[in-house]
Amino acid sequence: MGDKDDRSPKKKKGATKDMDDLKKEVPITEHKMSVEEVCRKFQTDVVQGLTNAKAAEFLLRDGPNALTPPPTTPEWVKFCRQLFGGFSILLWTGAILCFLAYAIQAATEDEPAGDNLYLGIVLTAVVVITGCFSYFQEAKSSKIMESFKNMVPQQALVIREGEKVQINAEEVVAGDLIEVKGGDRIPADIRVTSAHGCKVDNSSLTGESEPQSRSPDCTHDNPLETRNVAFFSTNCVEGTARGIVICTGDRTVMGRIATLTSGLETGKTPIAREIEHFIHIITGVAVFLGVTFFILAIILGYTWLEAVIFLIGIIVANVPEGLLATVTVCLTLTAKRMAKKNCLVKNLEAVETLGSTSTICSDKTGTLTQNRMTVAHMWFDNQIHEADTTEDQSGAAFDKSSVTWLSLSRVAALCNRAQFKAGQDSVSILKRDVAGDASESALLKCIELSCGSVRMMRDKNKKVAEIPFNSTNKYQLSVHETEDPNDNRYLLVMKGAPERILDRCSTIMLQGKEQPMDEEMKEAFQNAYMELGGLGERVLGFCHVLLPEDQYPKGFAFDTDDVNFQTDNLCFVGLISMIDPPRAAVPDAVGKCRSAGIKVIMVTGDHPITAKAIAKGVGIISEGNETVEDIAARLNIPVSQVNPRDAKACVIHGSDLKDLSQDQMDDILRNHTEIVFARTSPQQKLIIVEGCQRLGAIVAVTGDGVNDSPALKKADIGVAMGISGSDVSKQAADMILLDDNFASIVTGVEEGRLIFDNLKKSIAYTLTSNIPEITPFLFFIIVNIPLPLGTITILCIDLGTDMVPAISLAYEAAESDIMKRQPRNPARDKLVNERLISIAYGQIGMIQALGGFFAYFVILAENGFLPSQLVGIRLNWDDRSLNDLEDSYGQQWTYEQRKIVEFTCHTAFFVSIVVVQWADLIICKTRRNSVFQQGMKNKILIFGLFEETALAAFLSYCPGMDVALRMYPLKPTWWFCAFPYSFLIFVYDEARKLILRRNPGGWVEKETYY
Amino acid sequence: MAKDGEKSDWKEFLWNPRTREFLGRTASSWGLIFLFYLIFYTCLAGMFALTMYVMLQTLDEHRPTWQDRLSTPGLVIRPRADDTFEIVYTKEDTESWDLYAQTLDKFLQPYNDSLQAQKNHECAPDKYFIQEDSGEVKNNPKRSCQFNRTVLQSCSGIDDRYYGYREGQPCIIIKLNRVIGLLPGKDNQAPYVTCAAKKDDADKIGELIYFPPNGTINPMYFPYYGKKAQVNYSQPLVAVKFLNITHNEDVNIECKINAENIPVGGERDKFAGRVSFKLRINSKN
């Protein structure tokens, strides 16, 4: 709950206000002014451009035309964060206490024991090394980004003092007159003053997949939709245009979005919050125990120095030193695994976020769809035919034998200016690059696929004249020679908006025969048109006519400007409709998300009808679910009479979204399971994400355009597209889908959920050994026995033997179908909860501690010190000057002799912990299933078992260890002391899990299922 | 606003009157979990007791399973000066050495000839006093040999109540730590104790005299059979008297046991088979 409040801190009022300003719509007004007014405003000239002096002045005033790079944290700050974050503070405290203790000893004693100094150095080394490790891991993953940076400096063609000059795009200033042509990137926001067939690709800004034409006239109040403004960093696809720069750098529409994006404060990732929660618990326990025993030690009459040393011991025992490194390694391993499946993770912690995700807001274009217009349907012979829209042409084919189809394809092929770029013969037709607009390319590919080479067809039917498409006619026509060399007639082909085409037709072709267009046919046409339009498809009508030879003999001069030939009474051939079809894998992926309890919301800049059609196509609006409008249409009642609660699905238009209050917004998000937002602006996308987060959802946003980047940044996890994605979006995202495929997200969700489960297991495993590490100290202080386990041996466990097994749990396979359960509830399903602590500390840890203590008592007893004698022996035991301490048999021991026995006990305790950790590792493999169900297929885990044992044996038997770590060789029998306890752990936990499985929801599950 | 919320959250967590939950659990829930842990820990304690019991059954009553850490028995001096291994006093200042004399008095009390004669056996000297068990039948209790205080002669404190401290000729008593079954010396060659000054102090140590003569420890005191079988065992002692040690200077002395079958102790252990201490006698003359 506190987290949510943190997101809008009050102290940043000024900044918040600024951000709110940025969240508002674009304030550009120049599109409504006349060219002259614009010129006056910028003191420029529409022919001559700016003077060099003015340009220099403006450059000085406005700064360079470049986006301010987002503020980056300096490397040393990042490093320090790693060095002092998490448990580090606790360990630093321990290290400082060590040095302090050593300093006191050095000052008061002649020959101070080096133990504390060494321990201090070791602790410091541990902190520094784990800090460096995490830092480099993080640096490595953030380096991925650098490869995406576009280093090529951009050029712009400006007209200054009447001369065209090529300058660096950074030097462009407001008021500059610039020229762009097809293929250029637009260097700033410009008000178009003149254009020739200019089309720009605004997809990265608005999400519209088709290029938009640009012209000097204002066509819309909204600057984003009007034709006379072209935007910074969008691309000019074809044609040329001239315009006056109205905004540069951060003041451009794109710049505002980028500033908005980098200014957004992102919350912590869910896993970071979980780890923080966990660190709080552990630190709390450590500080509580440490302080309690410090006070207790003072009360019991220990000296300050001793009490401080106890404090150090308790801190060292309580902190799982290796755990954070383990978590980092586990996350890295998962990140690598995901990278192999085309999910590149920029921020390591984001690996898990997808697993917690409960809502995905997906952009449509390019993510859900192929971002390529494709012919979807045709209507001819009074019948709708379905074309194959799949990426690999695996779909059903339609009947191509009809003569009408031949005519239709001929019209579509001839009345088409698109052509394949050269040198792509080896590439499959669908993947070839095409010069031309999206719908013409779609037609070209469709015809090429079904009828063979379009070029040959065009060669056979030489083009004689052509009228290109314009918005007033809404048609395009061309006149060709016929294929038959004996036939001297000309063939006129035309395509365009269906209703306009129909108006010009008097006949219709049915089964290859021309028939008069009657009312019945007109109605059939209307129905087909409505149906295809309702599918969100763009429909084109096609017609042709063979011009009579007597009127248009061979060599007739067709005048396309002043049309001197017949353009009506044509013969209607058919309709072809196109859509940007969904990717093949998407419906399946959406289905998987849904069964995984994840709500998929479509947020797109595209039109509602298209958006809804695609949403239905991919299952975002599932079959049988209706929107309010659908219900109204079905029941034939006005929309206002429909109870909005009846509709599970809804499609919301951006302009409606603008007027919604926060409550209404929450209401929509809460009560509809299937939501499509259409015509949304970047700011609205942000509002949608915030709305979902307000309802407690963990939100993933996918997108490729610049318009998506604020939402990407605000989301708990932003997923950008690797191929089609813009740099800004990649910059803002946490994860990049290298294959642009929505289905990869499902992999991400699966991996994220798996790593969350496995981290739980890993932490349960690591935390368990804390109890056998702490209890020796407590008993040492309270009942005055010789110390059973030293700080060095504790570090050997935490940083040595426990590491590989803990990491190996990251490789554990899922216990059940993790994609069939609901996403975790971040408020309730914690990474480390009281049940995990109860199991690890209260149960398994206690058994482990007993195993260790048993080994300890065995060694002391077999050496002559029976348990009954040990209680209270500590003062004499640790007295350096007492060299004839009597054991239970009457033998006398020097200080060093009994210390060797004590250190042998430490070694045995350590080995016992390794032995009981075998069983712990095996039981931690599963949380619910039996090991016998799960199997021992995890090879890394088996390696881990052998590795920890080998390491323990090495530490015990390697010569020199007595000097280096004060670990001594064990008699072989002492290895077996903890075996019964190891066995007990295994049996106990198997029994617990058996009851847990038999009794779902029972007490055992409630109290022990972590 | 968050603070108020947090505060009431805390209160509610502590005691929620609506659900009657204390710290997030109802009474019965607390009861159940307590009961569970009670049973669980009782079982664990039982298991631990069982394993301990089994382990204790495997132990021999009279001899520990392992003695390898005691292969070189420790050497200890008396009087023992608190923590420092230093014997420093001023000849003329009675109070400065009185404590040493008292310590030795107390230490030698059990060695009084009368007590020894009462409790212990007079053994045949110069050979090990071996009292074998005959098979399963234990030959217990085992007898111990007398070590009479008078053997220490002028260091016995009988003639000189102050053990030579008043004269600046102090006695130091050295004992070898008890180790069950240890048979020091080979072929009945008796082990003996020697003391010497450490390198720089060689000329300061002066003349020494050992009691019993030559600092030998008679083999009849070995082997030791443990405190259960050999209740009245008297540990053999060696006394060293410094006859003319240089006064007003620190003298570092090391004494060690010489026996062929006792390995020299490790570098780390300064008290295995040897003992070092500092002796400083201040004199106002």
For chain A, list the domains and their CATH numbers.
34-260 (2.70.150.10), 343-369+584-740 (3.40.50.1000), 374-579 (3.40.1110.10), 771-1008 (1.20.1110.10)
Q: Looking at the structure, do residues B204 and B120 belong to the same domain, yes or no?
A: yes
Chain B residues touching residue A828 (CB < 8 angstroms)? none
Out of A19-23, A282-286, A889-893, least confident range: A19-23
Whether residues B154 and B210 share a domain: the answer is yes
Q: Are residues B115 and B251 in the same domain?
A: yes
Residues found in chain B:
285
Long-range contacts of A73-80 (CB under 8 A, 24+ apart): A75/A139, A78/A135, A78/A138, A78/A139, A79/A131, A79/A135
Task: Check B80 against A881: CB less than 8 A apart.
Answer: yes
Query: pLDDT tier at A9 (50, 70, 90 boundaries)?
Result: very low
Statement to judge: residues B245 and B114 lie in one domain:
yes
The amino acid at A339: A
For CA atoms A960, A965, A971, A973, the dihedral sign is: negative
Q: How far apart are CA A211 and CA A495, in angstroms?
A: 19
- Do A893 and B47 count as a contact with CB atoms less than 8 A apart? no
Residues B247, B175 share a domain = yes
Interchain CB distance below 8 Å, A883 and B177? yes
Best residue of A892, A916, A968, A988 to probe chain B, by most B CBs closer than 10 Å: A892
Do B54 and B79 lie in one domain? The reply is no
Residue B137 lies in a domain: yes
Quote the domain boundaries for residue B268. 75-282
Sort out which chain B residues have CB atoms less than 8 A from A884's CB and list them: 74, 76, 175, 177
Q: Does A1007 score more than 80 pLDDT?
A: yes
Burial environment of residue A130 by CB neighbours within 10 A (0 to 12, 13 to 18, 19 or more): buried
**Cβ A896–B268 below 8 Å, yes or no?**
yes
In a shared domain, residues B33 and B158: no
Most confident of A171-185, A658-672, A894-908, B133-147: A894-908
Domain count within chain B? 2
CB-CB under 8 Å, B272 with A896: yes
Q: Which residues of A touch B66 (CB under 8 A)?
A: 862-863, 971
pLDDT digits (tens, 9 = 90+) for A940-984: 999 999 999 999 999 999 999 888 888 999 999 999 999 999 999
pLDDT of residue A17 exceeding 60: no
Given CB atoms, is A4 within the 8 Å cutoff of chain B? no
Residue B66 lies in a domain: no
Record: contact A890-B228, CB cut-off 8 A: yes
In sequence order, which residues have a C-beta less than 8 Å from that of residue B182 and are 6 or more positions away?
B70, B73, B222, B223, B224
- DSSP helix/strand/coil, A969: coil
Section A183-205 average pLDDT = 83
Cβ separation of A896 and B224 shorter than 8 Å? no
Tell which wins on pLDDT, A959 or B199: A959
Range in A460-474, A928-942, B83-97 with the lowest mean pLDDT? A460-474
Amino acid sitting at position A626: E
Say if residue A377's pLDDT is above 50: yes
- Interface contact flag, A881 B44, Cβ < 8 Å: no
Interacting residues of A626 by C-beta distance below 8 A, sequence separation 6+: A634, A647, A648, A649
User: What residues form DSSP beta bridges with A482?
Assistant: none
For an interface test with A, give the residue of B69, B75, B82, B277 to mutate (most A CBs within 10 A): B69
Residue contacts between A and B (CB atoms, under 8 Å) = 125
Q: Mark whether B145 and B254 lie in a shared domain.
A: yes
The interface residues of chain A toward chain B in range 892-911, judged by CB-CB distance below 8 A, are 892-897, 900-901
Residue B175: list chain A partners with CB under 8 A.
884
pLDDT digits (tens, 9 = 90+) for B240-255: 999 988 889 889 999 9
Is A884 in Cβ contact with B74 (below 8 Å)? yes
Q: Give burial (CB, 10 Å; 0-12/13-18/19+) of B150.
A: middle
**Residue B241: inside a domain:** yes
Q: Give the minimum alpha-carbon distance from A119 to chain B in angstroms, rounded to a whole number.
A: 20
* In a domain? residue B69: no
pTM strictly above 0.90: no
Chain segment A748-757, per-residue pLDDT in tens: 899 999 999 9
CATH number at residue B256: 2.60.40.1660
B122 with B216, same domain: the answer is: yes
CB-count burial class (<10 Å; 0-12, 13-18, 19+) for A929: middle
Residue A157 C-beta-side C-alpha neighbours within 13 Å: 12
Give A849's contacts in chain B (Cβ within 8 Å).
none
Which residue has tokens 């048109």? Answer: A529
Residues B97 and B31 in one domain: no
Cβ-defined contact of B69 to A863 (cutoff 8 Å): yes
Q: Does A591 touch chain B (CB under 8 A)?
A: no
- Identify any residues that bridge with A331 across adjacent strands, giving them in sequence order: none
Per-residue pLDDT tens digits for A650-684: 888 888 888 888 888 888 888 888 899 988 887 88
How far A820 CA sits from the closest chain B CA (Å)? 30
Nearest to B271 among A857, A887, A895 (CB): A895
* Mean pLDDT of the region A532-536: 84
**Residue where a domain terminates, one of B58, B83, B105:** B58
Let me know whether B108 and B217 are in one domain.
yes
Which of A891, A981, A995 to mutate: most B Cβ within 10 Å?
A891
Q: What are the chain A neighbours of B33 within 8 Å (beta carbons)? A: 1007
Residue A122 confidence (pLDDT): 86
Q: Residue A170 and residue A153: Cα distance in Å, rounded?
A: 9
Catalytic positions of A are 363
Q: Is residue B47 part of a domain?
A: yes
Tell me whether residue B65 is in a domain.
no
The residue type at A788: P
Residues A789 and A852: their CA atoms lie apart, in Å, by: 9
**Residue of chain A nearest B45, judged by CA positions:** A850
- The answer to whether A969 faces chain B, any CB pair under 8 Å, is no
Domain contains B99: yes
Q: Which residues of B touch A981 (CB under 8 A)?
A: 47
Question: What percent of chain A has pLDDT above 90?
Answer: 25
Find chain A residues with C-beta within 8 A of B63's C-beta.
Answer: 889
* Residue A157 backbone dihedrals phi, psi, to 5 degrees: -100, 110
Q: Are B54 and B134 in a shared domain? A: no
Lowest mean pLDDT among A907-911, B79-83, B204-208: B79-83
- Contact between A854 and B55 using a beta-carbon 8 Å cutoff: yes
Among the three residues B32, B58, B84, which one is the final residue of a domain in this structure? B58
Residue B196 near residue B279 (C-beta atoms within 8 A): no
pLDDT digits (tens, 9 = 90+) for A786-796: 999 988 899 89
Calculate the CA A285 to chain-centre distance: 35
* Closest approach of A5 to chain B, Cα-based (Å): 7
Give me the interface pTM, i.e. the ipTM: 0.93
Task: Compute the average pLDDT of residues A700-722.
Answer: 86
Whole-number Å distance between alpha carbons of A686 and A702: 12
The mean of the pLDDT values for chain A is 85
Determine, for residues B2 and A5 on separate chains, whether the beta-carbon distance falls below 8 Å: yes
The DSSP output letter for A601 is: E
pLDDT the model gives residue A975: 95
Query: Max CA-CA distance within chain B?
Result: 94
Looking at chain A, which residue has its C-alpha nearest residue B84? A881
Is A679:A653 a contact under the CB 8 Å cutoff? yes
Distance to chain B for A626, nearest Cα, Å: 41
